[in-house]
Structure 1
Amino acid sequence: MGDRSTIEWTEATWNPTTGCDRVSTGCDNCYALVLSRRLKAMGVAKYQTDGDPRTSGPGFGLALHPDTLDIPRQWKAPRMVFVNSMSDLFHAKVPLEFVQQVFQVMAETPQHTYQLLTKRARRLRRLADELDWPSNLWMGVSVENADHLDRVDDLRRVPAAVRFLSCEPLLGSLAGLHLDGIGWVIAGGESGPHHRPVSEEWLIHLRDACKEGQVPFFFKQWGGRTPKSGGRELIGATWDEMPPRLSATAH
């Protein structure tokens, strides 16, 4: 994880923390949990902290990595950077002071555009006033089904330059979703040996809601046994819409 990423909607990953705990059904087949077990077995230093077996697993206990904070400063060419692809910065065990340090690094590297995603939208909202928000940060929440639409309401109260939704894995209809204050939507099906199917109807409804609200829509994958099993076309087209990149000025 680092200078290059195979994730379709980003270019690099940066993990100042690793590890997490299950919070909802979208976590059931977590790719990061599976990968962390492999990395632990390989002896990778960042993945030697074990988590609670009821909510986490081997190598996936929450761990802070202050030694990684300078990594984005070493990347001179602009990158789209997914922050914490292997963790959640708003996990309860991540101190506010460390979150502030991560935000400071983002503000001090305006050549990059950062994408930060969380399922812990309530803590995100509660900490928002304690953070200096740079305009090169896109803040998102995961919304896998209608049970978690409250995360969108929390996100709307955060002063991010771009607020986005990751509806992946999409596990149910989001028919009650309103996109006021939202600047981007990612959608996709689940992948892996235990993947749960995604409905074309759910995806088309999301696409239509984005079209009506003039919100960029990105369809990542149908999913299946592997991420690329079902391809990326939805109703005969590839949807790679994204917000424009912005330069960083704290506000």
Structure 2
Amino acid sequence: MDNTRIDWADMTWNPVTGCRHGCNYCYAARTAGRFAGYLSQGVKVSNDPRKEEIVQEVKLPNCEREGIVVLDKPLKTMTAAGNVVNAPYPFGFTPTFHRYRLGDPVKKQRPRNIFVCSMADLFGTWVPTKWIVEVMDACMAAPQHNYLFLTKNPRRYTELDEMALLPRRNNFWYGTTTTEAGQSYFISEHHKTFTSVEPMTGPLFPEAGGILVDWVIVGAETGLRKNKAVPERAWVKDLLDACREEGVPLFMKRNLTDVWGENLVQELPTMLGRR
């Protein structure tokens, strides 16, 4: 588990890493690519998650199905300084279940807001249901924390809830990434829900009935990608006005400073107030 610069969370926890959505603005893919590789018999094995042929050349241990990996213990890598450490993304952005990380939340006694799988989409179609169940069980074993999940595949939330596999607990927050109007997101009377509008690529007007989630996060694209998305102030203002009308808290990420100014609105739901 790592402390994080993400404005709305205290820590990130990545029992699963990797994703197949292929978003061109994805910071996680760039990060995983930078730190890909591991030591094999004392030799550094490097791979680039953006190049399929390189990933295929690396022998993936414990493959439960094609193209995904399960690690019951960490692989090692060597830093630039020559230190041997646990490899955070041994196979780059290949979906990987780091089962050895499941016990991390229970070791943290002070309550925290934990962003689960900041380096993955835990609810992607390629993720085995049993991985999700094991992650949820690990969360329930440490109820002192709030757990925040985020997906671009909100249908998986509904499918899991229909199987009684999506915990209905007030410290479990189910988020959907949206970027512009017309994209679906998870709403529920039985779960805490939010949407993360990041990067905001167009105006986002609420559907009929208003804002239907418990919290809204909005931000710009991070990183130095050429032609990166830059939201317009008017889009952010319209979203703020809609949230105000519905009494829904809105959190502007720091990367909106150039668009909005220094006086950012950074509201947290009462239950997520800083621990």
212, 232, 243: which one aligns with 1:199: 232
Does 2:120 match 1:87?
A: yes
Percent identity over the alignment is 32
The correspondence of residues 196-235 of structure 1 with structure 2, limited to 5 A, is: 196-222=229-255, 230-231=257-258, 234=260
Contact 2:217 2:252 in 1 (8 A): yes
Give the TM-score normalised by the residue count of structure 2. 0.74
Q: Displacement of 1:181 after TM fit?
A: 3.5
Paired residue for 1:184?
215
1:240 aligns with 2:266: yes
**Displacement of 1:237:** 2.3
Aligned to 1:3: 2
Contiguous gaps of at least 5 residues in structure 1: 224-229, 247-251
**8 Å contact kept, 1:125–1:158:** no
After the TM superposition, which of the residue ranges 32-41 and 129-138 deviates more from structure 2?
A: 129-138
1:52 to partner: Cα distance: 6.7
Residue among 121, 127, 137 paired with 2:172: 137
CA deviation vs aligned residue, 1:60-93 (integer Å, no higher than 9, x gap): 0111111111100111111110000000111122
Displacement of 1:19: 0.3
Q: Which one has the largest radius of gyration?
A: 2
Cross-structure match for 1:171: 201
Q: What is the aligned residue count?
A: 226
Residue type at the aligned position of 1:107:
M
Give, in whole Å, the separation in 2 of the partners of 1:71 and 1:39: 21
Shift of 1:238: 2.0
2:59 equivalent to 1:28: no
- 1:16 and 1:213 map into 2 onto residues whose CA distance is 35
2:94 aligned counterpart, secondary structure: coil
Partner in structure 1 of residue 17 of structure 2: 18
Q: 1:125 to 1:44 in 2, by over 3 A?
A: farther
After superposition, give the CA deviation of every residue in 1:170-222 in whole Å (9 maximum; x if it has no partner): 00111244544311000011122222111101100110011000000000034
More helix by share: 1
Question: Which one of the candidate residues 137, 143, 163 is aligned to 1:110?
Answer: 143
Unmatched 5+ residue regions in structure 2? 56-90
TM-score by length of 1: 0.81
SS of the residue corresponding to residue 138 of structure 2 reads: helix
SS in structure 2 opposite 1:89? coil
SS at match of 2:251: strand
Q: CA deviation at 1:53?
A: 4.3
Query: 2:39 and 2:180 mapped to 1: Cα distance?
Result: 34
Instruction: Report deviation, 1:49.
Output: 7.7
- Residue 145 (structure 1) shift: 1.0
Partners of 2:261 and 2:33 in 1: CA distance: 37
